[in-house]
Amino acid sequence: MYRMLPVIIIIGVLVALFPIIVGAIDQYIYSIRRGSSPAIEEVRGSEGIVVLRDTISSSTGSDTLAVSPGSIWVPYGGVFTLKITVYFKHAQPCPYSDWSVSYSVDGDLEVINETKGELIDSKTYVKEVVFRVLGNATITIIYSYGSGCPEGNEERVIVTVYTGEIKPATTLLENISETETQASTSEIYISTKGYIESIDYSRSVIIINGITVYIKGSWTDGVNTYEKEDVIKLLNTGVYVELLCHESGSGRIIADRIILDNTTLERLSG
């Protein structure tokens, strides 16, 4: 009997610590999933679509909102499926069960189908929306934490949708060549990358590879919104950037996307 006593004590300690051990393992698995990029899935839709950014996500609180695609080019009149996923830290249902997922469209998109949205497991919510593309647009997706939830307020991302008659040459931003597209008016889309040669902060203008590029309107990084004055202050001479721009009717080159230190800024308007 006395020989079995240490074994009994060890078993008792393990039983007592079991909930703590399970909780620690669960938290470790969640931290790995949150820290890694969401799995890239093939975007469903019309032939000829070009994914410019696979996924965009937000994790300002404990949960993660991930939307795919993050940016896309679709032939005029074509369709694509937007997949909205929420990864919860805690299993559902939770005490703050009035959380919600919503989206709004700014531009020419037609909703032709959407799922109700459901939990595919206790920690993963999925909703899909099928859009028909009739013009350039942005889609704002918001996941609101439940009322009184101490884990966060909201997660917000913005998806950019482009359209036209002639698609970009490749799916990679750095390889997109000068491409003529047709939306409401004919525009030239140009991509370039390199080091900023000079900056005119008063005019919100940068020069890169000999090209004068204007920073105009309001911008977003998928979470925060910036005015052009805030964006230009983030830039410095000698900094490496990647740009997607368009040529205006007056011949000016206007920036639509800026990739800086793994941060992507998208122009919203103006």
Are 155 and 56 in a shared domain? Answer: yes
Distance of CA 102 to the CA centre of its chain: 15
Radius of gyration of the chain (CA): 23
Are 77 and 155 in a shared domain? Answer: yes
29-75 pLDDT tens trace: 444 444 444 444 567 877 888 887 788 888 888 999 999 998 888 88
What pLDDT score does 178 carry? 36
Are 123 and 63 in a shared domain? Answer: yes
107-118 pLDDT tens trace: 899 999 999 999
Amino acid at 84: I
Question: Is 60 exceeded by the pLDDT of residue 171?
Answer: no
Give the DSSP per-residue string, 136-172. EEEEEEEEEPPTT-TT-SEEEEEEEEEEESS--SSSS
Residue range(s) defining the domain that contains residue 217:
185-269
Domain end call among 135, 164, 193: 164
Is residue 171 one of the residues assigned to a domain?
A: no
Residues in the chain: 270
Are 88 and 139 in a shared domain? Answer: yes
Most confident of 128-132, 133-137, 201-205, 209-213: 128-132
Mean pLDDT of the chain: 78
Q: What is the DSSP letter of 261?
A: T
Whether the CB-CB separation of 138 and 160 falls below 8 Å is answered with yes
- Give CA–CA dist 233/258, Å, rounded: 13
What pLDDT score does 3 carry? 57
Is residue 54 one of the residues assigned to a domain?
A: yes
Amino acid at 183: A
Q: Are strands 118-121 and 56-58 parallel, antiparallel or unpaired?
A: unpaired
71-107 pLDDT tens trace: 888 888 999 999 999 999 999 998 899 999 999 998 8
Q: Look at the chain and report how many structural domains it folds into.
A: 2
Are 134 and 193 in a shared domain? Answer: no
Find the CATH number of the domain harbouring 87.
Answer: 2.60.40.10
Question: Is 70 exceeded by the pLDDT of residue 172?
Answer: no
Token reading at 122: 């206790």
Question: Is 60 exceeded by the pLDDT of residue 166?
Answer: no
What is the pTM (predicted TM-score) of this model?
0.56
Find the CATH number of the domain harbouring 221.
Answer: 2.40.50.320
Domain end call among 164, 194, 214: 164
What pLDDT score does 14 carry? 54
Are 63 and 155 in a shared domain? Answer: yes
Q: Are strands 154-164 and 71-75 parallel, antiparallel or unpaired?
A: parallel
122-161 pLDDT tens trace: 999 999 999 999 988 889 999 999 999 998 999 988 888 8
Is residue 92 one of the residues assigned to a domain?
A: yes
Are 220 and 145 in a shared domain? Answer: no
Is residue 19 one of the residues assigned to a domain?
A: no
How many CB atoms are closer than 10 A to CB 246?
19
Are 255 and 220 in a shared domain? Answer: yes
Are 160 and 193 in a shared domain? Answer: no
- Give CA–CA dist 260/239, Å, rounded: 8
